[in-house]
């Protein structure tokens, strides 16, 4: 029972003062300040394993429910498979992708209650591919996060693109670009921003 005087009793008979209670409250509030993906990944079924289903629209290759994280560790073989799927399809170059990107996709998938594979339009981009795309379009960044393996352009069949964008923005986990004319959104693990 909580009392209003300077001492509170616990069920085991020990006591703590208001300062201890305030510290506990501040620690609890600090937990609420965690970004949404932090909270989402610290609670619920994600604690044991995380998996993704992905389909590369350019190569026709896919991965179904690949478990890439289990019991607190990323699984190297699964990461290797995902990195290969997200390779630069123009040059066939593979680069290790930022696993935090996979965590973003996992959390996005969970929030949208999706069962279909993410369609990958672009993952890693080699400098040559990025240069060619920049020559063809003003919407391609010179220092794109795709070059560092920190970005993916995605769509989700059966989900409205604006709904996927809103869910990605709500994660507050990196950059989110909206390309409705091309029917995809961009997500990355860089600073939080949107366009």
Structure tokens at 49: 């394993």
Contact 78/49 with Cβ under 8 angstroms?
no
Which sign, positive or negative, has the C-alpha torsion 82, 84, 85, 91?
Answer: positive
Distances (CA, A) of 104 to 6, 67, 113, 171: 45, 14, 14, 8
Is the per-residue pLDDT at 8 higher than 50? no
Contact 178/135 with Cβ under 8 angstroms?
no
pLDDT (mean) for 66-77: 97
Give the pLDDT score at 162.
97
Name the more confident of 165 and 138: 165
pTM, two decimals, is: 0.74
Q: Is 77 left (phi over 0), alpha (psi -120 to 50) or beta?
A: alpha
Contact 61/119 with Cβ under 8 angstroms?
no
Say how many residues make up the chain. Answer: 195
Is the per-residue pLDDT at 166 higher than 90? yes
Give the pLDDT score at 5.
35
Give the pLDDT score at 19.
52
Mode of pairing for the β-strands spanning 15-17 and 49-56 = unpaired
Contact 97/134 with Cβ under 8 angstroms?
no
Query: Above pLDDT 70, what percent of the chain?
Result: 75
Cβ-count burial of 56 within 10 angstroms (0-12 exposed, 13-18 middle, 19+ buried)?
buried
pLDDT (mean) for 128-143: 84
Q: Could you report the per-residue pLDDT of 53-64, keeping only the tens digit for each?
A: 999 999 999 999
């Amino acid at each position: 029972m909580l009392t209003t005087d300077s001492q509170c009793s616990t069920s085991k008979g020990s006591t703590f003062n208001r300062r201890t209670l305030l510290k506990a409250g501040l620690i609890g509030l600090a937990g609420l300040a965690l970004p949404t993906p932090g909270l989402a990944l610290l609670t619920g079924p994600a604690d044991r394993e995380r998996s993704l289903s992905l389909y590369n629209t350019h190569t026709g290759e896919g991965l179904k429910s690949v478990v890439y994280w289990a019991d607190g560790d990323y699984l190297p073989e699964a990461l290797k498979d995902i990195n290969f799927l997200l390779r630069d399809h123009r040059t066939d170059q593979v680069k290790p992708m930022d696993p935090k990107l996979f965590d973003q996709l996992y959390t996005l998938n969970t929030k949208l209650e999706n069962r279909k594979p993410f369609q990958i339009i672009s993952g890693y981009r080699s400098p040559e591919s990025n240069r060619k795309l920049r020559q063809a379009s003003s919407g391609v960044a010179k220092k794109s996060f795709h070059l560092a393996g920190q970005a993916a352009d995605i769509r989700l069949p059966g989900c409205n693109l604006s709904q996927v964008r809103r869910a990605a923005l709500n994660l507050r986990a990196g950059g989110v670009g909206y390309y409705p004319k091309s029917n995809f959104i961009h997500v990355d693990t860089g600073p939080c921003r949107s366009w």
